[in-house]
């Protein structure tokens, strides 16, 4: 399998979406509609999906854990990242206004709640 086409998006253009890509299988099939999404734990691959009558999205392609991991490695390499688990670089973090700078171990109490 290989990435057939990748369309990188500008940061913030479509929220947390970073790219769309198509996948070509070794049998010659092209599966369209994969997404690279930036989540709270880093980048991941979103499977192609459709919207139902209620407005909810559901995946149209499913992959087992091993195939999904291989797909994520392939997609991240094509996107320009070495690994799925690598945190964003400092230049990417500059675009994020609320990026945490350090871990705090401060305990919270009721006076910290604004309401």
Task: Name residues whose C-beta falls within 8 Å of residue 85's C-beta, 6 or more positions apart in sequence.
Answer: 42
Domain range list for the chain? 2-83
Cα 15 to the chain's mean position, in Å?
11
The residue among 19, 24, 22 whose CA lies nearest residue 5 is 22
Q: Per-residue pLDDT tens for 11-56?
A: 777 788 899 999 998 898 999 999 999 889 989 999 999 999 999 9
Predicted local confidence at residue 85, as pLDDT: 44
Which fold does the domain 2-83 belong to in CATH?
A: Arylsulfatase, C-terminal domain (3.30.1120)
pTM for the predicted model, two decimal places: 0.64
Pure H helices in the chain:
65-79, 90-94
């Amino acid at each position: 399998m290989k990435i057939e086409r990748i369309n990188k998006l500008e940061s913030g253009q479509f929220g947390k979406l970073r790219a769309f890509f198509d996948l070509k299988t070794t049998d010659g099939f092209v599966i369209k509609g994969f997404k690279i999404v930036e989540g709270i734990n880093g980048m991941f691959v979103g499977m192609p999906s459709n919207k139902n009558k209620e407005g909810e999205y559901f995946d149209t392609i499913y992959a087992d854990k091993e195939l999904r991991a291989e797909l994520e490695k392939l997609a991240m390499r094509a996107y320009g990242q070495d690994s799925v688990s690598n945190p964003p670089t400092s230049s990417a973090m500059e675009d994020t206004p609320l990026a945490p700078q350090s871990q705090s171990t401060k305990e919270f109490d009721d006076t910290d709640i604004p309401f």
